[in-house]
Structure 1
């Protein structure tokens, strides 16, 4: 009897990443997490119908097996993974989610993927992302997959108002404020800076991931520190030089396109349409830096395998294929999520994506870069935590309340949310082993 050929796990991975692989990934649509003939890929990402279909099209380009891509909200996602693993009846083979979706599942509910990042370290995952994927252990529980972030966008007309000697790609927060002041004065006292302070805007991420880390070095532990008082006093002054309609802005690409403002900060997905008509007239730049460094927020996604999952060799091949530079560039082209591996951005991408990719890279690689994350492990309580930051803005900046007393009061709210959620801190605060607390 002839012994069948068996490929080792490492051989399967190398095959998926080899230049001779005929495909990136593959699959089909409309799957449930049971009753499928192929591998089930459960993800919290690309939940809008158009994004999901574009990703499924990317998958169909050629993986030599069926993949059912199923999307889920974060709460049911975590519940489903835990219940399947705890019951010893796992039907999902691959997981895709934010760091905050995956980290709480490690190590009890995820397989160890240290071998993948070790075998393919030449792909160039950033060390800080690999550290996050270890979740405070010496093993790797997910593979960094794709990332998004927030940057500055500016029309070239606004750049003439930069302070003398200032580098638009290396601004301090003081220079950013001086820029806003000078632009307003040159525009008949009409502000040219806009921020996304509308009902669906992401201004709270500016505080959580950019301003407060840059001024205080933290997000939670330093919430009521003297440096946080200084930061909120700065916001007051900056807001005086923002377009008053900023309290209505949800997506900054809209007022930028309409010439209501000339420079703004927002999520890359909410700026992508700005340069479409006049790409040569727009710039994308890193956020400013403060006394503690350049705080920036990475919306990091990862790929993980549930403990005891079926089809693990296929799932690992899928992880390896999704980690290829070519695949990550195609994902950037399809859904504007940026690569986590080292790669050149092609010239044939839309101008906005090319500019954003360069700004995201400069932001992360700049001297003094200080990585921040969206809240991790809070589930439905994430909204309660973010509301504390929004309430600080409402009271201090819009309402003129005393900074110190406001921060002290909101620190109690933050502490209560974290105590109920029983979660450790996340970047830039030190993770530790206990419940995250305001110092």
Structure 2
């Protein structure tokens, strides 16, 4: 090696040594800044929107707009409740969480809440929307927000406009009581000689939902705990009075849409989905009303679906962006139009275009947003015995109201069955208790 090259090599080595030495004596190295790569896809696991037409709508209509806006791809994984719960629990406990956003009914998250396997979303940025307070209050568990309301379905009253002239004096049709409903049905009967109120009391009707989710909370404040109480006795006396003005074909009707269209009844209670055809066929003929209130408040079943993030989930920021997108008023409108679930934010009902869905949505939002609302949940944790729960409530109605059996005797016998069911399964009473 030439002398010149030797000198050059020594200078390079010296420079390297000095650089290393200067770093050791306190000259901090400037931090390198790297941007975390965006995920190629986040996983959205849901017990809702499972039927193939709904899943197709989600993947071809709902999510592509989010993906285009954010550059975040979403893999939608619809799943039955049992594998959904097992998957999330297994992932959290293994420390290998794949799901970023989980969607399901409120009850689908009950065990995950108890185990504290859901991420605290308190403070999530969800601007320009007003969540229905009843649902927002359900979002919190032990002071942490672990659930963001997403969409709802429920049961409501629908009335032919011909019935409105017979409303009791001073009654607000959007804030009726059960006493006023009875008086309304009686007024119609007195004027027309016809029993124009209807309930889906047929073999496949949803009468049991009316009993456990509507009248029981409204009169006793509870779904199960106050089944056999003086307040319950009063409630059943009121139901017997209402039945005097209820269409005699109600025990044969499984759904109230057709009787409304045929004008066999003018006022009826049922699930929103079972009214849809009637309101689509004759949107100008009907109004949708919140269910009535009793002494304890306005009991109603809320089939509320929400969004959560499993503890330890990947891509938290992206998950929050998806939640923000799915709860925007304009997205809520698209969900209602696309799959028939109703909004959980007040602004969405206003933004819905005119027509049948808007008629139903306004009634749904008015009911869930009522100041005296008592939201009731569907039973959870009963497994294969869930049908026994429904049977007890439906047969209690049949025995007392239709067959005229003594109220106290029926309640005593059925309460024994209901208690035994919950003792055997160990399931919690559905809200409100």
Q: TM-score, normalised by structure 1?
A: 0.83
After superposition, give the CA deviation of every residue in 1:161-207 in whole Å (9 maximum; x if it has no partner).
2223322222221121122223234334x321111122332221111
SS of residue matched to 1:211 = helix
Q: Looking at CA atoms only, which structure, 1 or 2, has the larger radius of gyration?
A: 2
Q: Please give the alpha-carbon distance, in whole angstroms, between the structure 2 residues aligned to 1:89 and 1:109.
A: 16
Deviation at 1:211, TM superposition (A): 1.0
CA drift of 1:228 comes to: 0.5
Whether contact under 8 Å (1:197, 1:246) holds in the other structure is yes
Match of 2:401 among 394, 397, 404: 397
User: 2:295 — aligned with what?
Assistant: 291
Please state how far the C-alpha of 1:289 moved relative to its aligned partner: 1.4
Q: Check if 1:266 corresponds to 2:270.
A: yes
Q: Does 2:186 correspond to 1:181? A: yes
Quick one: distance in 1 between partners of 2:191 and 2:204? 30
Partner of 1:279: 283
Q: How is 1:199-210 mapped onto 2 (pairs within 5 angstroms)?
A: 199-210=203-214
Q: How many angstroms apart in 1 are the aligned matches of 2:116 and 2:76?
A: 20
Matches within 5 A, 1:123-202: 123-135=129-141, 137-188=142-193, 190-202=194-206
Measure how far apart 1:301 and its partner are.
Answer: 0.8
Where does the alignment leave 5 or more consecutive residues of structure 1 unmatched? 13-35, 430-439
2:134–2:373 contact (8 Å) kept in structure 1: no
Which consecutive segments of 4 or more residues in structure 1 shift more than 4 A?
Answer: none
- Give distance in 1, aligned partners of 2:346 and 2:390: 32
**Cα offset for 1:285?**
0.9
Distance between the aligned counterparts of 1:319 and 1:128, measured in 2?
A: 19
Whichever structure has more helix as a proportion of its residues is: 2
- Residue aligning to 1:5: 35
Match of 1:230 in 2: 234
Closer, same or farther: CA 254–74 of 1 in aligned 2, 3 Å: farther
Q: Are residues 1:106 and 2:109 paired?
A: no
Shift of 1:141: 1.6
Residue 330 of structure 1 is aligned with which of 331, 334, 337?
334
- Correspondence for 2:126: 120
Per the alignment, residue 55 of structure 2 pairs with 52
Q: TM-score, normalised by structure 2?
A: 0.84
The number of aligned residues is: 399
RMSD (CA atoms): 2.6
In the aligned structure 1, how far is the partner of 2:400 from the partner of 2:350?
Answer: 44
Q: Which runs of 5+ in 2 are unaligned?
A: 1-30
Q: Work out which of the residue numbers 91, 96, 100 in structure 2 matches 1:84.
A: 91
Structure-2 change in CA distance of 1:409 and 1:79 (3 Å): farther
1:316 is paired with a residue of what secondary structure? helix
